[in-house]
């Protein structure tokens, strides 16, 4: 009996932990093969259809012409044994010969869960050109239905195009997306991570380059690069009836972290040098030379952190508003971001209509928008560095640097003061071509001494900058009660209003907190190095142990993930054991009695 029970246990254990690795090659494979490395399958879709929980599908280098779909439970892993589909080498899924119909992705996840998609290049999925009216929506990667525990990472997506000539008044609804996540069911989408993807050269008509829309609860958008598209870069949307009208108040993107992303040159004027045309959907705005494509846009989302992102050369830097009547974008924390050279404005909040019941949209509110420790440089057109439109309420702006194109008073605009209520302005630094007029809150009007702002380096150059040690600590956020925050901020879900790191990944606090997105420190200057050796770390990447090249006694250390979550801390003099960390990118902060150093490292 004991041997029988042991055998049952062994079989059960094997069933839980079994993992098979299969291979696809369109050069030497055949779908009649067994999928082994010596006998690969030919198509990605056939391989996907054979997988069981815990399996890995390696797709070997080549150009594949197919649409890949993960559909429901049959193509799902489990929480402990996800399915992983990964590119080995340069794997291209090319749709040059595929005509889009309806809304479909080159990779589509429809109601499937516990998946990892890693390392593909998706291209040339597009409507005929020219075309007068095509309501199809080609998408690079599409996620829809009821899904949980998805990781989509390291994919390159470009030339996803809808060439429709429709305008907003044409009665048609064309679109295209590089990445689109639609929470279009009552149970929605939970726990999705989009990491290290690139989306560029997409012609999106009425749609956005990288969008999360509808009933989505719990997400991370980290280290993605979205650039040179002819509409909005990143968009986080709620309350669109055509997504999930039955979801009610849950029909909104919520509880997420947006960190370390870059959004550059996303504009309705396109990029002719790259073959990206103007966007005819916004022809009237183009005729008036008025841009409206945001680098980052929240339209009806809530409880989202934007930390350490870069928004440059878009039409708008950041926008927090709500296009739907009587709806809100709420509880947004914008910290440690660089925002520069956007055509019209740096950050704009509130509904764009002065009336809440406007049938043309823009009647929503922006509530509890926290804008702390960001650096803005020359974002000026019809707007300015920071713009309050209509119905901005209970919001806070502090510790920022606003460096404008013209005078300091032009750095701020308040379109409708009577509707913008109970907003608090702390200390901010204001600068421009001249100092004139008034600005809200407690102000410092001096040149912040950015290192090279025209090239996008908004770090502080000298220790004499008025931005150094001029900030004030804002209250932690303790009212975001979803489990997502308890998991990512285990100190009772309390969220630091400033984060733990600045834009460059260095300690956010050196003495008193600075104004702006970067924290000035002399610790790595020449004088400091000569007086005391800097504790350099090696190797990088690292497998199990981080070593110090010098030792000045004991250092206290803290290791963070890229969301700013503290993972471990302690005291060490020569080495730190990290064998318990998963593979990935981390930040190590070392501190002695007088100095703090920060390093990014890769755990293999």
Q: What is the pLDDT of residue 590?
A: 79
**pLDDT band (50, 70, 90) for residue 525:** very low
For the ranges 54-58, 354-358, 505-509, the lowest mean pLDDT is seen at 354-358
CA distance 556 to 566: 14
The pLDDT confidence band at residue 538, using thresholds 50, 70 and 90, is low
> pLDDT tens for residues 51-92?
999 999 999 999 999 999 999 999 999 999 999 999 999 999
HEC string of 455-473 equals: HCEEEECCCCCCCCCCCCC
Confidence of residue 359 (pLDDT cuts 50, 70, 90): confident
Nearest to 52 by CA among 24, 81, 23, 88: 81
The C-alpha atoms of residue 550 and residue 284 are separated, in whole angstroms, by 63
End-to-end CA distance of the chain: 44
SS3 per residue for 492-504: CCCECCCCCECCC
Write the CB contacts of 297 (distance below 8 Å, at least 6 apart in sequence): 208, 232, 233, 234, 235, 236, 316, 318, 319, 320, 321
Asked if 394 contacts 357 with a C-beta cutoff of 8 angstroms, the reply is no
Mean pLDDT, rounded, of the chain = 90
Tell me the per-residue pLDDT of 25-37, one tens digit each, with 9 for 90 and over. 999 999 999 999 9
Indicate if the pLDDT at residue 12 is higher than 70.
no
Return d(Cα 76, Cα 53) in angstroms, integer: 7
What local confidence, expressed as pLDDT, does residue 490 receive? 83
> Left, alpha or beta for 483 (phi > 0: left; psi -120 to 50: alpha)?
alpha
**Pairing of the two strands 56-64 and 210-214:** unpaired
Tell which residue, 460, 330, 439, 456, has the closest CA to residue 384.
Answer: 439
Q: Is residue 181 predicted with pLDDT exceeding 90? A: yes
- Residue 309 scores a pLDDT above 90: yes
For residue 570, name the pLDDT band (cuts at 50, 70, 90): confident
Q: What is the DSSP letter of 233?
A: S
Residue 93 contacts by C-beta under 8 Å, 6 or more apart in sequence? 44, 63, 64, 65, 66, 68, 106, 107, 120, 121, 122, 123
157-184 b/e with 16+ CB inside 10 Å = b?
bbbbbbbbbbbeeeebbbbbbbbbbbbb
pLDDT of 552: 58
Strands 294-299 and 234-237: parallel
Radius of gyration of the chain (CA): 25
pLDDT at residue 591, rounded to an integer = 78
Is there a contact between 149 and 114 (Cβ–Cβ < 8 Å)? yes
pLDDT at residue 130 greater than cutoff 90: no
Report H helices in 93-160. Answer: none
Residue 499 phi/psi, 5-degree rounding, is 75, 175
Q: Which of 469, 468, 462 is nearest to 525 (CA)?
A: 462
Residues 230-260 as b/e (b if ≥16 CB within 10 A, e otherwise) read bbbbbbbbbbbeebbeebeebbbbbbbbbbb
Strand partners, 302: 254, 330
How many other CB atoms are there within 10 angstroms of residue 156's CB atom? 20
Domains of the chain, each with CATH number or no CATH? 290-294+347-521 (no CATH), 536-603 (2.60.40.3080)
Residues 6+ apart with CB under 8 A from 46: 24, 31
Q: Which region holds residue 104: left if phi is over 0, alpha if psi is between -120 and 50, else beta?
A: beta
Contact 197, 228 (CB under 8 A): no
Q: Is 180 helix (H, G, I), strand (E, B) or coil?
A: strand
Q: Within 10 Å of residue 92's Cβ, how many Cβ atoms?
A: 16
pLDDT tens figures, 104-128? 999 999 999 999 999 999 999 999 9
Q: Which residue has the higher pLDDT, 227 or 603?
A: 227
CA distance 348 to 299: 12
Question: What per-residue confidence (pLDDT) applies to 13?
Answer: 39
Residue 15: pLDDT over 90: no
- Say if residues 183 and 146 touch (Cβ distance below 8 Å): no
Q: Give which of 122, 498, 494 is closest to 307, Cα–Cα.
A: 498
Beta strands in 441-579, from DSSP E residues, in sequence order: 442-444, 450-452, 457-460, 537-538, 545-548, 555-560, 566-572, 575-577
pLDDT at residue 241 tops 70 = yes
- Count the helices and strands in the chain (H runs, E runs): 6, 44
Contact 293, 314 (CB under 8 A): yes
- Assess whether pLDDT exceeds 90 at residue 258: yes
- Identify the pLDDT of residue 532: 37
* Contacting residues for 282 by C-beta, under 8 A, at least 6 apart: 167, 168, 268, 292
Cα dihedral 85, 86, 88, 89 in deg (nearest 10):
130
d(CA 332, CA 396): 10
């Amino acid at each position: 009996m004991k041997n029988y029970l042991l055998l049952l246990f062994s079989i059960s254990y094997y069933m839980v932990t079994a993992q098979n690795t299969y291979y696809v090659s369109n050069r030497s494979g055949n779908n009649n093969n067994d999928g082994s490395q010596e006998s690969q399958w030919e198509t990605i879709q056939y391989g996907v259809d054979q997988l069981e929980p815990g399996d890995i599908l390696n797709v070997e280098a080549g150009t594949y012409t197919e649409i890949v779909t993960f559909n429901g439970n049959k193509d799902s892993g489990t929480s402990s044994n996800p399915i992983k589909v990964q590119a080995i080498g340069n794997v291209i899924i090319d749709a040059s010969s595929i005509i889009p119909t309806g809304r479909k992705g080159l990779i589509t996840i429809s109601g499937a869960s516990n998946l990892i998609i890693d390392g593909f290049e998706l291209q040339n999925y597009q409507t005929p050109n020219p075309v007068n009216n095509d309501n199809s929506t080609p998408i690079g990667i599409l996620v829809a239905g009821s899904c949980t525990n998805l990781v989509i990472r390291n994919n390159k997506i470009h030339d996803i195009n809808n060439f429709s000539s429709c305008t907003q008044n044409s009665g048609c609804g064309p679109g295209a997306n590089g990445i689109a996540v639609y929470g279009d069911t009552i149970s929605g989408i939970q726990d999705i991570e989009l990491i290290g993807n690139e989306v560029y050269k997409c012609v999106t008509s009425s749609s956005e380059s990288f969008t999360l829309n509808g009933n989505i609860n719990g997400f991370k958008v980290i280290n993605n690069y979205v650039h040179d598209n002819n509409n909005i870069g990143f968009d986080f949307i709620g309350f669109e009836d055509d997504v999930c009208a039955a979801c009610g108040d849950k029909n909104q993107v919520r509880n997420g972290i947006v960190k370390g992303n870059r959004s550059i040159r996303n504009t309705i004027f396109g990029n002719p040098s790259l073959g990206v045309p103007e966007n005819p959907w916004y022809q009237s705005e183009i005729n008036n030379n008025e841009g409206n494509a945001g680098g980052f846009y929240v339209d009806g989302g809530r409880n989202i952190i934007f930390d350490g992102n870069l928004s440059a050369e878009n039409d708008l830097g950041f926008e927090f508003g709500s296009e739907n009547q009587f709806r809100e974008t709420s509880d947004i924390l914008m910290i440690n971001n660089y925002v520069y050279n956007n055509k019209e404005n740096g950050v704009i909040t509130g509904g764009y209509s002065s009336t809440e019941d406007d049938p043309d949209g823009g009647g929503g509110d922006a509530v509890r928008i926290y804008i702390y420790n960001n650096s803005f440089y020359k974002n000026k057109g019809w707007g300015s560095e920071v713009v309050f439109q209509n119905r901005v309420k209970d919001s806070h702006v502090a510790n920022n640097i606003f460096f404008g194109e013209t005078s300091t008073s032009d750095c701020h605009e308040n379109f409708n003061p009577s509707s913008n209520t109970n907003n608090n302005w702390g200390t901010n630094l204001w600068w421009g071509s001249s100092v004139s007029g008034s600005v809200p809150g407690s102000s410092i009007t001096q040149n912040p001494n950015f290192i090279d702002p025209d090239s996008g380096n908004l770090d502080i150059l000298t220790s004499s900058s008025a931005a150094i040690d001029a900030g004030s600590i804002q209250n932690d956020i303790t009212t975001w009660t979803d489990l997502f925050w308890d998991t990512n901020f285990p100190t009772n879900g309390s969220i630091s209003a400033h984060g733990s790191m600045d834009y460059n990944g260095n300690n956010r606090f050196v003495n008193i907190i600075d104004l702006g997105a970067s924290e000035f420190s002399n610790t790595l200057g020449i004088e400091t190095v000569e007086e005391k050796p800097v504790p350099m770390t090696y190797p990088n990447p690292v497998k199990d142990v981080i070593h110090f090249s010098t030792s000045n006694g004991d250092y206290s250390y803290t290791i963070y993930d890229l969301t700013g979550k503290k993972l471990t801390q302690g005291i060490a003099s020569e080495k730190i054991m990290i064998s318990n960390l998963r593979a990935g990118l981390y930040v190590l902060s070392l501190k002695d009695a007088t100095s703090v150093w920060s390093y990014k490292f890769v755990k293999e």
